[in-house]
Structure 1
Amino acid sequence: MAERWLEKMIDIFAALHYTKERQVTFAVFQLEGVARSWWNVVRLKWEREQTPRMWVNFMREFNAKYFLPLIQEKKEDEFIRFRQGTQTIAEYESQFTRLPKFAPELIMTEQRQIRRFVRGLNIEIQKDLAVAQLSAFSNAVEKAQRVESTRLQVRNFQAKKRAIPESRVEQEDKSIPPKFGRGTGGVRIPGISRVTSQGGSASASGGPCGYCGKANHTEDVCWKKARKCLHCGSADHQIANFPILLR
């Protein structure tokens, strides 16, 4: 019950962005019965010892009252060993803000909280944050999320690049007409008859070409005029960029 109450307070503080001082005031206002009597004793002690009215000090007193030392040690060890692993930054940050309630001394200052947060991040994200100026915990979380987003975009781009089907080249290969004879590019050209079995030259339907001057084809089917690949006839590339020649 005590742990659930403490987590509820922490969630409220995070949602309403309460200051450290206001957190104590709000939490104390929620105490009733025996818990309220306990707080009155703590308050008098704080006034006598001039203890700052800070949430970290409240948690220390609260833990000592409601949690056995063995439980506190176990939770403190869990927080020290806590790492991001397969979690997203948002998931990691949510867990990170809950665990320190049993070890407030580890995040007593803003800088100590930032250092421990960064230390638990995955190595690749830590590297990108190494040169960042992190003056506030919220700033550290935001920059970590930006790094995560950027790295995710890079991975997605690389995955799409690798996922380009190799069959694309194979399809282009299949689109190349079967070779025969020694005509232009050694391939079949629309409108040209096959080489005769006697080995004579091929007869074109209307050659020579009026555009390039080459034999065996006419101007209306001239690949050079249409700026097609002189190797395969494709309009998607020039012969200098023919896929097979680039292998």
Structure 2
Amino acid sequence: MFEGGADPMVADDYMDQVETQLISMDVTDDHLKIMLATYKFSKDAKLWWKSVTNQYKVEEMSWDMFKELFYEKYFSITKRWEFKDQFVGLIQGNMSITEYENKFTFLFRFAPEIVSNEVEKTKKFVSGLHDRMRPLIMAQYLKVYLEAVERTLMLEAEAKDKDVRREQWKQKRNA
């Protein structure tokens, strides 16, 4: 069910679920896609859709037009630009590699035109890594995103292990 509301991520998640289901059901007709997507509307979303049907010839509406109207209503362009800007300026900072990669993946979907291929995506991910990690990964000149993530996770794990061993050594030395 989709009720509408102010949270753009709920709207985006709903649209993602609908599109996944439409693909799995092999629905290609735009009108049928729209009817299936709006079938689960309730409350605010149902009222909004009723107003859309009064303004547009829904039978002739394309799926892309429906999505455009849906996102205009429930996921403002301002919010999408904000996420795009966050992606452009994303750096690891104090985040773990897992946290950084999760945020990278989340924000990436709002800025796919910034990184048009796998190599550029990998380069963008690596460029945002912490100063200690970035040179080690850059030196490997990885071109596959998931490979870069995996190597970075391995380096992070090794660094944590090294810190633990160093701390144990200090405790032994002080004892």
Q: Could you say which TM-score interval applies, normalised by the shorter chain?
A: 0.5 to 0.7
Q: Give TM-score scaled by structure 1 length.
A: 0.46
Listed as ranges, the gaps of 5+ residues in structure 1 are 13-21, 45-57, 168-247
Q: Comparing both structures, which one devotes a greater share of its residues to helix?
A: 2
Aligned partner of 1:140: which letter? A
Match of 1:73 in 2: 81
In 1, the alpha carbon distance for the partners of 2:120 and 2:21 equals 19
Change over 3 Å in CA distance of 1:78–1:85 after alignment to 2: same
Asked if structure 2 preserves the Cα contact closer than 8 Å seen for 1:9 and 1:27, the reply is: no
Asked if structure 1 preserves the Cα contact closer than 8 Å seen for 2:87 and 2:108, the reply is: yes
Match of 1:129 in 2: 137
Change over 3 Å in CA distance of 1:5–1:63 after alignment to 2: closer
Asked if structure 2 preserves the Cα contact closer than 8 Å seen for 1:110 and 1:136, the reply is: yes
2:37 paired residue among 21, 32, 37: 32
Q: What percentage of aligned pairs have identical amino acids?
A: 23
Asked if structure 2 preserves the Cα contact closer than 8 Å seen for 1:63 and 1:72, the reply is: no
CA displacement at 1:141 relative to structure 2 = 0.9
The aligned runs of 1:29-178 (5 Å cut-off) are 32-33=37-38, 41-42=62-63, 66-167=74-175
Aligned partner of 1:86: which letter? N
CA RMSD across the alignment: 3.8
Determine if the alignment matches structure 1 residue 3 to structure 2 residue 1.
no
In 1, the alpha carbon distance for the partners of 2:22 and 2:105 equals 17
Asked if structure 1 preserves the Cα contact closer than 8 Å seen for 2:12 and 2:75, the reply is: no
CA displacement at 1:8 relative to structure 2 = 6.6
Q: Give TM-score scaled by structure 2 length.
A: 0.62
Aligned partner of 2:171: which letter? A
Asked if structure 2 preserves the Cα contact closer than 8 Å seen for 1:75 and 1:99, the reply is: yes
Change over 3 Å in CA distance of 1:100–1:28 after alignment to 2: farther
Matched residue count: 142
In 2, the alpha carbon distance for the partners of 1:92 and 1:61 equals 32
CA displacement at 1:143 relative to structure 2 = 0.8
Listed as ranges, the gaps of 5+ residues in structure 2 are 1-6, 28-32, 39-48, 53-57
Larger radius of gyration: 1
In 1, the alpha carbon distance for the partners of 2:11 and 2:103 equals 16
Other structure's SS at 2:91 match = coil
In 1, the alpha carbon distance for the partners of 2:99 and 2:93 equals 10
CA displacement, residues 7-64 of structure 1 (integer Å, 9 cap, x when unaligned): 4777x8xxxxxxxxx89935996861269x69x51569xxxxxxxxxxxxx9x99756
Other structure's SS at 1:121 match = coil
Aligned partner of 2:90: which letter? F
Aligned partner of 2:80: which letter? Q
Aligned partner of 2:116: which letter? M
Asked if structure 2 preserves the Cα contact closer than 8 Å seen for 1:7 and 1:98, the reply is: no
In 2, the alpha carbon distance for the partners of 1:28 and 1:102 equals 26
In 2, the alpha carbon distance for the partners of 1:160 and 1:117 equals 33
In 2, the alpha carbon distance for the partners of 1:126 and 1:61 equals 41
Change over 3 Å in CA distance of 1:140–1:76 after alignment to 2: same
